[in-house]
Amino acid sequence: MSRKPPTNLASFLKGMHFPAGRTQMIEYARQQGVPPKVMEALESLPDQEYQSMVDVMQGYCAAE
């Protein structure tokens, strides 16, 4: 079963340069002051490199 990402996940990562790894995205999000729910979503992503925001959303939806 796939999960739905927080609706504002993409907006909080606006300006993020891809490709980027999970750790880079988490650090960027911290600097942006994202809410805890968005941070939890990023921390739940598989630890890999993402080529685009589409990859991030797919990774989140596929993670269990």
**Residue of higher predicted confidence among 45 and 2:** 45
Q: Domain locations in the chain?
A: 9-62
**Residue of higher predicted confidence among 60 and 36:** 36
For 28-52, what is the HEC assignment?
HHHHHCCCHHHHHHHHCCCCCEECC
Q: What is the DSSP code (8-state) at residue 20?
A: E
Q: Is the pTM of this model over 0.75?
A: yes
Predicted pLDDT at 2: 54
**Residue of higher predicted confidence among 19 and 37:** 19
